Structure 1
Amino acid sequence: MWGHLSSDYQKTIDGLIRGLNRSAATKSNIRYGCVKVLLQIQNTSGHMKAEEITYDDLFDLLESFSRETVNIMHFLRACMKSLLDYLYSMGRVSYGFTLFPRLTIGRNCLNQILIDTENSEGILNAKDKDCPRISLGTFLSVQSRLVLEYKNECYSKTSRTKVKRITDMIYCFMESNGLKFYSPEVGRIWLHYHETAVSHQEHRERRRIVSVLNQHIDGTFVSFKHVYRYKPNAFARSPEWCKPAVAEFLHLKESLGMKSSTMAMFSSCLYRFCSYMDSIGIKDFKKITVPMIKDFNASDIHKTLAGKNAYNSRIRKFLEHLGEQGLLQNPFLFLTLPSKFAKREYVVETLTADEQVRLQRLLDEQGSGTLSLRRKAMIQLGYRMGLRSIDIVKLTIDDIDWNGPVLSFRQEKTEKQLVLPMPGPVANAISKYILEERPATNCRQLFIRSNAPYCGLSRNACIQALDKALTERNVKGSGFHVTRKTFATNMLKNGAYIQEVSDALGHSDLTNVHKYLVFDEDRMARCALKLSERSLTMEGGFLHE
C-alpha cells in the first residue's frame, strides 16, 4: 500500500511517525492505519496533497469506516485524528479538521450540510449595518468567552461541553461552506438544516445556545434568564395599508405615559380589527361601514364578556380617533361597537376545610419530603399572609427585616408599599429555605432556580407549588390566588375587622373585601331580618309569632 501513496502523503506520514514517542510496534500500527486512511482519500477523490483534502473527503472516509469491524473503525478514527492534528500543526489544513473526528461521534453528531447558492450568496453579501458579523477567528474568541460565562453562572460541566460542541459544529458548518464570517443569519440557517434531523428537545437546546451566541457578536450583555428571539409583534403582522394610522394612534397613546402592557393590548386589538377588514377586501378606512363593524363584532369571539369589552373599548377609541382625523366616511362609527355589559358577580373560591387540613399537614412535614423548602415557603406566604404570586416571586432578600421579623415590599399590581409582620411559620419556612436549600449565588431574588442559571422565577412557580401540594384539586379558574382569598376569609372568620383585612391585603379601599363577608356565617346570621320587618307576608302567617 505504501508504494501507491503520493510522495506528499508519504512525507506527511513519515513526519507524523518521527514525532511520536511510542514503541516501534505502536508506530508500525499507526503507520499502517495512516496509510490506509490517506490511500482511501487518494483513491476516492484523487487528491494527492494534504492541502487538497476537503470535508467531503472526510465524510466519505467515515462512510468507508462503517464497513469495518468496530475495533478497526475506532483504530482508523484514531489514526485520522492524529493525521489531522499533525497537518493542522504544520499549517496545511484548517482548524475545523481537528474538530471533525470528535464531532462525528455519538448521537446528534456533525452532519454533511451544503447550503444552496442563494443562501450562500445572501450571507456573503450581507452588509454589516444590516447584519452584524464576526470573522472565524473572532468566533473562536467569542466561543471561549461564552463557555467561561456559562461556568461563572454555575452551569455544570456537561452544559459547558454542550455549548462547546454546538459552537464547534457551527464553525465546521461555516468552514465547509466557505463562509468567512458568522452572523445571526448563519446561526438561523444552521438551525433550519438540522431541525428535522434531531429531536425537539435537542433542537430547543441548540436554538437557545445560538440565541445566546447571537447576543455576543456585538459585545452586548448576555442574559441567561431571557433569550431574546425575534418574534413579529401584532403591529408588524398588521396589513400594510393600515399601519400609518395605527402607528400614529399608538404613538399618541404612548405619549400619554401608558405602560408597555397597555400598548401591547392596543396593538393586539387593532391587529385583530384591521386583519378582519383586510380579509373582507377593505384597504381603506373610508370604506368601512356600520354593517361591517357589526359583522366584526359578531365574529370576534371571546371566552368572557369582560374580554370582549376590553377589546371593543380599545377599538372604539381607535375608530373615534380615525373620525377626528377625517379618515372615516362616518365619524360616528365608533358608536356601532358596544363596549359595555352588565357587571357579573363571581362566587369566591377558597380552600375547603379538608384541603386546608391536608395543606397544613404537608407544610408541617420536616425537611423537603413531598414539597421542597422553596415551595413550602411560597405557599406559606400566600396562605398565611395573602401575598399575590407575582409579589412572592419578586421578593428580594433585602425586603426582609429579621429583627421583626417584618416583610417590606411594593405590590406589583397597585404599586402600593406594604410593611407586614411575618408570622412565625412563614419566617421559619423562609429561613429554612435560605439556609438549607437556596443555592449560594449573588442573585438578590429571594426565590431562585434550583439549577443554573440562578435567577428569579416566574409566577408559575407558585401555581406549581400549590398543584404539587393539592394534586387532587381541580377547580376551574382557581389558581394560586385561592390562597389569598382563603387568607382573607380566615381573618374574617377569626374576628378581624374589615379594615384590618383590607390593610393586610394591601387594598386601597374596602370594596374588594365585602365579597368575603358571605363566608363569615356566624356574623352573617346575626344580620338576619324578619320577613315582617321587610313588609313580606306568607300565606298562613309567620312561624313562631
Structure 2
Amino acid sequence: MEKQVTFHDLATHLRMLLESESYSQTTVKDMDFILNSFASYMDKNGLDVYSPEIGERLIQYCEVELKVCASRVSRARVIVRKLNRLNQGLDGREALWGDKTSPIVLPADFEKILSAYISYCRKKGNKQTTLHYKQWICSRFLKNLSSSGCEKAEDISGDMVQSAFLQLKFSRYWERIGPFLRFLFEKGYTKLNYSMLIQHRKRNSPYPTVYSVDEITTVESSIDRATPAGIRNYAIIMLLSRYGIRSSDIAALSFENIDFTNNRIRFLQQKTDDPWESELFPEVKDALLDYIQNVRPEVSGCSQIFMTLVIPYQPMDCFAINTMVWTQFGKSGVPLAERRHGSRAFRSSMASNMINDNISTEIVRRVLGHGTKHAIKHYARIDIESMRLCPLAVPEPGGLFAEMLLWKDGDNHV
C-alpha cells in the first residue's frame, strides 16, 4: 500500500484489514467506536493529515475528554499503533500486528513445516488471532532450533527440543509447542514424537464461585429500580441469574434475538458461534419491556438492546456489564469473602446449584450452551451434598504421625 497521510484514508484501510482478519463482532464494534471518536476529534479541530503526534492527541481525547473506561483507552492505544504502522507504509498483517508477528527468517525446511502447520490449524477452524499466536510462538521455537545448528526437521533431536523450548522461558508455551511437535510426527516430518518430552503441567483452576439462591435474590432486590440505570441493570441481572448466559452474549443481544410474541430468546453465542435458545420467562420479559419502553434511548440504526445512558449513547460492552455486576454485588450486602463477584458468578452458581439439585449434567450442559459434557466438569467438583452421601471415616492416627500429634499438644515433649 502506498503511504497514506490522511486520517480518513488510514481509517478506511484499517477497517478493511480488520474485517479481513475475522475479529469478533464485539471487538470490531469496539474498534469502530474508537475510530468514530477519532474522526469526530479530527473534524472538530479541522485536522486532516495524520501523524504519530496526532495519534497521541487522539488517545488523550478518549481518556481525558470522553472519559472512556480503561479498557477502551488501551484499545485506543492499540489502534493508534496500527495507524502509525499504516502511516509508515506497512500493510496487511505487519500493519495489524507489528513486531509481535513480524516475519522471522527461518531455514527453508522450517518455513515449509511451519506453513503446513498453520494451514492445518486453519482447516481445523482456528480463528485468525489464534493462528497468529501459534505462528508467533512456533516460529520462535524453530528459530531457537536453527540457532543450535539444526536446519531440517529430520535433524531434530530431543536435546535440541528441550533446549529450544527452555529458551522461550515460559512453560505455558508448551500448550502450543506440544501440538506442533505432535503434528510434525504424525505427518512424517520427524521420526519421533517429541511432544512427550516435556510434561505439560496444568495450572490448578480455582473452584467455581457459587452463590446460593437466597444470595442471588438479595443481589436482585438490592437494585434501585426507581432509576433508569437500575431498571436497565435489573434487566441485565435477570438475564444473568435466570439463564447463566455470558456477559458478551448479553452485550451483543439485539431486538431480533427476542421474540416477545412467542416468548422465545435465541442467539448465536459469541464465544462458540453455537446457537442458544430458551423460553422467555415472564419475569425476564417484564424486566426487558420495562427497560426498552421506559429507559432505552432511541438510537437510529442500533439494534443492540443494552445501551449506555449518557450522550453519546453507545451499546454496552461486556466490560461495562462486568463492572456493573461487580459494583452491585458490593452494594447488596451479600458476604463476598474471597469469592469472585463478576458476571460469571451467576453462570457458575446456576450450574453448581442445578447439579446439587440432582439435575442431569446433560440438561445443565444444554442450559449453559456448552458444546460438550466435559465443559461442565469444573462445576461438578463442588457437589457437596452428593459428597456427603459417601463420607469416609477418619482413621485413628498411629505410629510416627500419632507421636507427632502428641508433640504438637505438648505431651512427651523432650
Partner of 2:207: 347
Residue 188 of structure 1 corresponds to: 51
Give the structure 2 partner of residue 230 of structure 1. 96
Task: Report the CA distance shift for 1:160/1:437 in structure 2 as closer, same or farther (over 3 A).
Answer: farther
SS of the residue aligned with 1:502? Answer: helix
In the superposition, the TM-score normalised over structure 1's length comes to 0.50
Paired position in structure 2 for 1:163? 42
Structure 2 unmatched ranges of 5 or more: 13-31, 66-72, 87-93, 398-414
Match of 2:3 in 1: 131
Alignment partners' CA distance in 2, 1:302 and 1:154 = 35
Residues in 2 aligned to 1:191 and 1:508: alpha-carbon distance in whole angstroms: 46
Match for 2:135 among 253, 260, 267? 267
Q: Kindly provide the CA deviation profile for residues 403-454 of structure 1, in whole angstroms up to 9, marking residues without a partner as x.
A: 3432122334454433212333322222222223322122222224445675
Deviations 1:44-103 (A, max 9, x none): xxxxxxxxxxxxxxxxxxxxxxxxxxxxxxxxxxxxxxxxxxxxxxxxxxxxxxxxxxxx
- Report deviation, 1:494: 5.4
**Compared CA separation, residues 414 and 187, structure 1 to 2 (3 A):** closer
CA distance in 2, matches of 1:456, 1:342: 37
User: 1:459 and 1:273, CA in 2 relative to 1: closer, same or farther beyond 3 A?
Assistant: farther
Identity of aligned residues (%): 16
3-state SS in 2 of match to 1:462: helix
CA distance in 1 between partners of 2:164 and 2:340 (Å): 28
CA 1:276 to 1:476, structure 2 compared with 1: closer, same or farther past 3 Å?
farther
SS of the residue corresponding to residue 438 of structure 1 reads coil
For the residues of structure 1 that align with 2:366 and 2:269, how far apart are their CA atoms? Answer: 13
Kindly state the Cα deviation for residue 401 of structure 1 after the two structures are TM-superposed: 1.6
Tell me, in whole angstroms, the C-alpha distance in 2 between the residues paired with 1:391 and 1:402: 18
Task: Output the CA distance in 1 between the equivalents of 2:377 and 2:54.
Answer: 56
Which of 264, 287, 305 pairs up with 1:429?
Answer: 287
Name the CA distance, whole Å, in 2 between partners of 1:447 and 1:339.
Answer: 46
After superposition, the Cα gap between the structure-2 partners of 1:250 and 1:339, relative to the gap in structure 1 and judged at 3 Å, is: farther
Q: SS where residue 51 of structure 2 aligns? A: helix
Are 1:284 and 2:146 an aligned pair? no
Per the normalisation by structure 2, the TM-score is: 0.63
Whole-angstrom distance in 1 between the partners of 2:80 and 2:119:
35
> 1:419 aligns to what SS in structure 2?
strand
Q: Which amino acid aligns with 2:151?
A: D
For residues 280 and 176 of structure 2, what CA distance do their matches in structure 1 show?
41
**Counterpart position of 1:486:** 349
Give, as a single letter, the amino acid of the residue that structure 1 aligns with 2:249: D
- The answer for the alignment partner of 2:118 in structure 1 is 250
* Structure label with greater radius of gyration: 1
Q: CA deviation at 1:384?
A: 1.7
* Structure 2 CA distance for partners of 1:265 and 1:508, relative to 1, 3 Å: same
Match of 2:226 among 367, 388, 392: 367
Please, which of 168, 177, 181 is the counterpart of residue 312 of structure 1?
Answer: 177
Pick aligned residue for 1:399 from 240, 254, 257? 257
Separation in 1, partners of 2:38, 2:3: 29
Quick one: which of 503, 506, 513 aligns to 2:366?
503
User: Does 2:197 align with 1:332?
Assistant: no
CA displacement at 1:486 relative to structure 2: 0.8
Over 3 Å counting, the alpha-carbon distance change for 1:374 and 1:268 in structure 2 is farther
Shift in Å at residue 484 of structure 1?
Answer: 0.7
| CA shift in 2, pair 1:195/1:515, >3 Å | closer
